Chains A and B, each alone.
Chain A
Amino acid sequence: MSVQTSMQAVLKSVDKPVAIAFVFILVMLLAGSLYSSSFLSANYLLQQLQVAAFLGIIASGVMLVILLGHIDLSIPWLVTVGGMMSTAAAGWWGPEWAIPFGVFCGLVFGLINGLGVAILRVPSMIFTLGINAVAQGVMVLHTGGFAPQDHATKLMHWLAVDRSLLGIPNAVFIWAIIGIAVVVLLKRTPLGRYIYAIGNQEAATFLSGVNTKAVLIACFAISGMCSAMAGVLLAGYSNKGYQAMGDPYLLPAIAAVVLGGTHILGGRGSYLGTVAGVILISLLQSILSVMQMPEAGRQIIYGCVIIAMLLVYGRGQKVQS
């Protein structure tokens, strides 16, 4: 009896979407292991986590923005800004400047996103698209005007590729640190409460005396920093920063957050869900590439899986009044 009630308590504390996402992960691993036994090896799983870490870092920032009921479509070029500016800074002022400057550039663009959405009240969808275009323009100018260094520093390479403690990739530790920071932010600080509150009813939050503008700006700034940080690591991973390196990350990042049960209109969602979503997406990509599926089939299956999973648990309410 007591075992049963504690089981129920545990089940209750986990959201339905999160639980379903984890079940999907298990099913995919099992299906993969039927195809090749290496799917359940520790090495393969750690490798998946390493690749997932880049997406996970981006998704951490995007999740905060989505919880507000907004969206950040500037991810692709903010990732690129992070990668390219960090390598360039290493060339200009020395390797120790690489990571701080890369993340700083992401912060600047994130702040502009926040200012546009919070102060000018331009819909985030279109404003962040505009910032994405501006960031692209800046990067084109940056590579064309003069020849900046595009090689990653040793530290960036070490962080992205090496495994130092217990054979766990360093990138996973960085994701864990950022993840814990986001969880603490959401659960233990007033800012976290305000984020959920704004996602539910911005006007009510404003009337309660919360500085809603500051909250919006802070979240977009964090999202910009996270994207840039992922860009720094990606540059370390492939040993160089290059144009359009962030392009493949927009759909996966948003999909991961939404598949993890965060409501796209804001106000609801847990970080555990985002973790599940990130792992799910990375695993799906990995299985499709192991099966040597051509790009066309990959895109089709990828889109269909996202729709299918959302149909299982992401459906909205029927409008009745």
Chain B
Amino acid sequence: MKDLKLRLGQSQGVLLAILVFVLMFTLYIANHPAGLTVPVATTAANKAVLLALVAMAQTLPVLTGGLDLSVGMIFIMTNCVASSLVSGDPWQVAVGIVIVLLTGALAGFVNGAIVVYGRLQPIITTLATGAVYYGIALLLRPVPGGEVDEDLADIMTYTVFEVVPTSLVLLLAVVVIIWLPFRNSVIGRGCYAVGSAEGAAYMSGVSIDRSKLAAYTLSGLLAGVAGLMLTFITFSGEASAPIGGTYTLNSIAAVVIGGTSLYGGTGGAIGSIFGAFILRTIDDLLFVFDLPPLWQPLFQGVVLLVAVSLGAARVFRIRNRLELFK
């Protein structure tokens, strides 16, 4: 019983995010002219899973107390790689997918190596490597184009058994195969420890370097999965700095909304997934409620600002003002 209470307390942020998402999605479906049909759900899922994957990628560095301002650019870069390699014979497609994922992981590993061995701050490191990854993307795709295996793309963007969107199955697979084992591993728990108190983690024998490296590498891999998925949805690759920037921004917002602290040490990727779903549903709500298009960017900005400010509630509960400075 006590254990349950503790666990509930720890996942307050996630539960709140899930609740908000369910309410918003119900509101969206209730007002959608077609209601909850498979195509409506599939479209919503495809868009949401992209951001959810990038937000998961962002979560890992944030847990260690860092930040990855290059996730959006890794996402764009792997999209460009996928648009060149994932086509042709089945074995070419398979090799292509492996290369795409390895590219993402390598980009993340480079971030991690610079942060760990170069001992540079994550913000400035990933800001700079983000420029490099964007440059590589531009090198690969000076103009939008490329192609992807259409059969595979169809499979990935439609439904399983004509009911469940495949993209949601992919997301679930990523959670079960990558996130959950990682969180429960020694290295994964090391990430939480490093994020809460790096000095204490070091003194307790946590391998700080290995945990951080793993976090950034896995982050790159997840961004690579997202890039692959983007290619399946758009059937092409595009080196677009605005798209990269928007995904980076929204990934941070999704992480915060999902209950992960930007100071590191608490939260998790599940929360970020629902944070991403919430952000996407806001866009959809603006659509069904027919908000004038000119007002949409402002409304999105204000919603984002209010959402990230919600955490400020703690400020007004604090008795000892010194706790503010932690």
Interface residues, chain A, with chain B CB atoms under 8 Å away: 71, 116, 119-123, 125-127, 129-138, 140-141, 144-145, 202-203, 206-207, 247, 251, 254-255, 258, 264-265, 294-304, 306-307, 310-311, 314-321
Contact = CB atoms under 8 A, between A and B. Distances in A.
Given A126-B252, A131-B305, A297-B139, 7 more contacts: A126-B253, A141-B298, A144-B294, A203-B325, A303-B128, A318-B119, A319-B208
Contacts of B142: 294, 296
A319 B199 contact: yes
Contact of B124 (A255, A297, A320): A255
A71 B262 CA distance: 13
B297 interface: yes
Interface string B291-326: 000111111111011001101100100000110110
A258 B198 contact: no
B135 A316 contact: no
Contact of A121 (B136, B202, B312): B312
Nearest to B67: A125
B205 interface: no
B131 A127 contact: no
Interface of B is mostly: helix
B308 A122 contact: yes
A301 B131 CA distance: 9
A200 B263 CA distance: 17
A302 B134 CA distance: 11
A299 B124 contact: no
A134 B298 contact: yes
B172 interface: no
A289 B258 CA distance: 43
B119 A206 contact: no
A300 B152 CA distance: 32
Interface residues of B, number: 54
Contact of A141 (B114, B129, B294): B294
A299 B131 contact: yes
B132 A303 contact: yes
Nearest to B123: A264
A233 B252 CA distance: 32
Nearest to A301: B135
Contact of A307 (B129, B241, B253): B129
Contacts of B103: none
Contacts of B198: 319
A298 B130 CA distance: 13
5 contacts: A127-B305, A133-B305, A137-B302, A251-B128, A255-B128
Contacts of B263: 123
Contacts of B131: 251, 299-300, 302-303, 306
B298 A138 contact: yes
Contacts of B139: 296-297, 300
B252 A129 contact: yes
B138 interface: yes
A314 to B, nearest CB: 6
Nearest to B202: A319
